[in-house]
Chain A
C-alpha cells in the first residue's frame, strides 16, 4: 500500500530544496554534490547504507552544520534562525534531561521553538493523551522505558506544529503497537499538508509510508524519485501466478520458478504480461492471482548498493 500526497492541494513551494550541497570532514567528502527536493504534503524517504551521509544531510537541512558549498532552502527561505521554528526534528541519537519531568521537558524544548508555556502545556497534554502517555506526565524521564522516551521525543518534534518534520529512525526500539500509533500520527501530519522526511533502514516502512525516496551511497545520489516508478524500473519482467489446473508449456515464458503457493513466470524478451494472461485464459486455466512482479525495495537497495560498491 502506498499513500499518495493530497493531489488537490495547491503546492506553492517546495518544503525542502537542496541544491548541490557538498560537505567534507577532515578531507573526507561525506556529502558530494547532492540535490533533491521535498514537496509539502508528502512523506519522503531518505535511505542509504550506514555511513552513506544521511545524518550529515539531515543536519545540514536542520542548520546544525553548514554545507561547504551548495544551498538549502526550507519552505522557500534560506535557512535562518526564524526558519528553525518551523522545523521539527527527531534525531537518530536521542535523549532528554534524565532528571527532568516529562511535562517540563516538553515545555522547555517547545519554548526553544518559540512556543509559550501555556500553549505548550495545552498541546503537550493533547499529544500525551493521543499517545496514551498522559498517566506518565508527572514522571521523570529516567523512569520511562526506552520506547516511552521515544514517544516523548516524537511529541517534542511536533509540539510546535512544524511545517517540516525530519524523523531519523523513528521506529527503532518501538513495539508494534507504538509503531502503528506513530504511523497513524505521521499520516495525520501528512494529511495536514506537512512535509515529512523519514530516514530509516526498515525498507518495509519506507514502502508503506513514502511517496518518493532518495537513496544515497558514499554521499552521492544513487536513486531518486517516485517509489512506484523506481520499483517498476527495477522489475524483473516476470509475473506471479496463482492458479488451478495444469499449466504446461506457455509460449513466451523463458523460465518457471515454483514458490510456496504461487509460481513466478520469467518472460522472454518478446512476450508482454498481457499476452501471457490472454494465453493462460484461452487454455481455460482458473487464475486466482496474476501480478506483475516488482522487487521489494530491500532487493533494490541491496542491488544498487552492491553495484555502487563494485
Chain B
C-alpha cells in the first residue's frame, strides 16, 4: 500500500466526495479529501500528491485558486483534473490557462474518471 498513488480530492458535495473516495480507494489509490479549497491547499502542501482532483466552485478558495497556488506558488507539475458544471465553460478555459491538465464536466461518470486517472498515471 505504500506504493499507492496519492490523490487529493477537493469537492464540496459531501456525497459525491464519499462516492469518488469509495470508487478510487477500490482502485487502489490513497485518497486525501478536502471539502473546500483551503483544505485542499493544506493537503497538497503537506502530502505532495501524485494527482489533484478539484471542483471549480468551492467555499473559501475556488478550484482556480488551488490550481494557481499549485502552479505559481508551489511550482509543482502535479497533474490536475478539474470538475466543472454546465455554464462554467469560461472557468474551464481559465483553469487550462492556469495549468489544469484535464477537465470533466458534471454530471460526471465515476468510471470515466477512473479511466482518465489510469491514463494519466500510465
Whether chains A and B associate is: no
Taking Cβ atoms with an 8 Å cutoff, the residues of A that contact B are none
Residues of B that sit less than 8 Å from A by CB:
none
